Amino acid sequence: MHPYLHAQKNPDKPAVIMAGSGEIITYGKLDSRSNQVAQLYRSRGLQIGDTVAICMENHPEFFPVTWGSQRSGLFQVAISNRLTAEEVGYILKDSGAKLLIGSQQMLPILDQVRTSNPDVAQLVFGAGDERNMDDALASMPSTPIADERAGIDMLYSSGTTGQPKGVKLPLPEDEDIAGPNGVAGLAQMIFGFHEDCVYLSPAPLYHAAPLRWNVAVQALGGTSIIMEKFDPERALQLIEQYKCDVGQFVPTHFVRMLKLPEEVRTKYDVSSIKSAVHAAAPVPVPIKEAMIKWWGPVLNEYYAGTEGNGFVFCNSEGWMGHKGTVGQPINCVVHICDENGEEVPVGEEGQIYFESGSKFEYHNDPEKTKAATHPRGWTSLGDVGKLDEDGFLYLTDRKSFMIISGGVNIYPQEIENLLVTHDKVADAAVIGAPDEDMGEKVVAVVQPMDMADAGPELAQELEAFLRQSLSGVKIPRRIDFRAELPRHATGKLYKRLLRDEYWNKQKAG
């Protein structure tokens, strides 16, 4: 399974279609261009086991570069194009990258990075100077390098709870560039991907899931429809236009599509979708019920991490019988443990650990690796949850987001999931803010559908809405409004930024 095999069989088949521009990259072009990238790496002295970084928006050259890295035996670090120059510089230094590949859109950041990280060479698509990647590639042959060897991604966590952590897995044991691809195998066997699938990709490509799922699609020979930026109505248009049968989403995508006016949602034919894969966070139960009612039983959920230490899966039928679950483990054993590392009874909450054959380490951070590892060798993503009697896993929240108010543990996710079902709420974050009496108090930061509604009346309405379903201790003591929350484009919420803001106000006061 590799694009070069599909290029030999069907060179004119689209491997990638950019949704905005309509630009098509065929399998023939993907193969020849990735060969040029590999040749360029070798001409610049990059050898098997070296590290290269890529920092671009959803750009047409993203996959030629990625497959060029894969066939060169390199570790490729995909860096968020939303980071500051200081944050990009940190990842370059931490990963040991020898080359940074970027795009014209990123030049203001890349110029700053060049000053702060002068030892890391840069090549930039569309640059008007000696860094021009197009010029560098033009002189490269489009034939394979002599020492092809399968490489791998090296991805960093989004840093929602601190400095991003690099996850460095070993290079594949099978050196063959067309060797087994674990994600492609899962995509084919469990999620229904196939050689002629048309995959809608609405998320940033630098993130683990969109990157790996698109690579899987191209390994299988399907076509990736890449959205430069997510828009709920545009996503529906693309499903209809290209008859997309598979796609990968996050809960905020579903929320935004469901909150489109009824007449907008119903005018697009989405019946081609056979597998809507979703992850990143559990979907609030009413939201997922509404999506299944709209799209049919095609939602396939999984719980996993960049670390690759375990995989939990649930189809629509399984979820309907265990609402709120993220599924059952399929390549691991799940253990729920208390703070002392002891397993808790079925139905009780604790930290989630995976027992599997997959091992990982956080690059240059043995302490973080140790903190994520149980004495028995199991590993954790830092999430809290529980198992039911049928072995289905339910996520409570990240351990680091837990609020302790008056000695009571409160998990924000439950409150957030309820808030976003309110008709006047577009997004919501719940955090713990300082409180002299209780230690912490529950604060909700809400993004209204219409900022004109923000104010005391809406706050009272939301409080009354929450009291219908939640105990008093979980009701926010304060509800603030923002035009937009600091949410990562992949759907993750930068709660650390909000929490720090409230705690720093307390210190300043």
Residue 351, in any domain of the structure: yes
* pLDDT (0 to 100) of residue 502: 83
- 78 and 108 inside one domain: yes
- 379 and 461 inside one domain: no
* pLDDT (0 to 100) of residue 88: 92
- 336 and 464 inside one domain: no
Domains in the chain, number: 3
- 18 and 148 inside one domain: yes
Which tokens go with 280?
A: 């990143």
With both helix axes pointing from N to C terminus, report the angle between 251-258 and 285-295 in degrees, rounded to the nearest 10.
Answer: 70
* pLDDT (0 to 100) of residue 160: 45
* pLDDT (0 to 100) of residue 158: 58
Q: Which of 368, 401, 434 is the last residue of a domain?
A: 401
Residue 250, in any domain of the structure: no
With both helix axes pointing from N to C terminus, report the angle between 456-467 and 412-419 in degrees, rounded to the nearest 10.
Answer: 110
Residue 294, in any domain of the structure: no
* pLDDT (0 to 100) of residue 492: 67
CA torsion through residues 240, 245, 251, 254, sign:
positive
C-alpha–C-alpha distance, residues 504 and 502, integer Å: 5
Residue 36, in any domain of the structure: yes
Q: Give the Å distances, CA to CA, from 119 to 89, 92, 148.
A: 11, 10, 26
C-alpha–C-alpha distance, residues 46 and 36, integer Å: 14
- 364 and 456 inside one domain: no
Nearest alpha carbon to residue 417 among 394, 438, 450: 394
Residue 188, in any domain of the structure: no
Range of the domain at 145: 3-179
* pLDDT (0 to 100) of residue 490: 62
Q: Which residues, other chains included, contact 195 with Cβ-Cβ below 8 Å and sequence gap of 6+?
A: 220, 221, 222
Q: Which of 401, 434, 456 is the last residue of a domain?
A: 401
Structure letter (DSSP) for residue 400? G
- 448 and 482 inside one domain: yes
CATH number of domain containing 67: 3.40.50.12780
Half-sphere exposure in the Cβ direction for 145 (13 Å, CA):
28
- 383 and 426 inside one domain: no
Q: Which of 401, 429, 456 is the last residue of a domain?
A: 401
Residue 234, in any domain of the structure: no
- 94 and 149 inside one domain: yes
- 37 and 156 inside one domain: yes
CATH number of domain containing 344: 2.30.38.10
The number of beta carbons lying within 10 Å of the beta carbon of residue 396 is 21
CATH number of domain containing 503: 3.30.300.30
- 447 and 353 inside one domain: no
Residue 227, in any domain of the structure: no
- 385 and 413 inside one domain: no
- 382 and 429 inside one domain: no
pLDDT string in tens for the chain (509-residue length): 899 999 999 999 999 999 999 999 999 999 999 999 999 999 999 999 999 999 999 999 999 999 999 999 999 999 988 888 988 999 999 999 999 999 999 999 999 999 999 999 999 999 999 999 999 999 999 999 999 999 999 998 755 445 678 888 889 999 999 998 888 888 999 999 999 999 999 998 998 889 999 999 999 999 999 999 999 999 999 999 999 999 999 888 998 999 999 999 999 999 999 999 998 677 888 999 999 999 999 999 999 887 878 899 999 999 999 999 999 999 899 999 998 999 999 999 999 999 987 777 888 888 888 888 999 999 998 888 999 999 999 988 666 677 877 667 787 888 988 999 999 999 999 988 888 777 789 999 999 999 999 999 999 999 999 999 887 888 999 999 999 988 766 666 777 788 888 877 755 55
Alpha helical stretches, state H, 208-365: 208-220, 232-242, 251-258, 262-265, 285-295, 316-321
Residue 216, in any domain of the structure: no
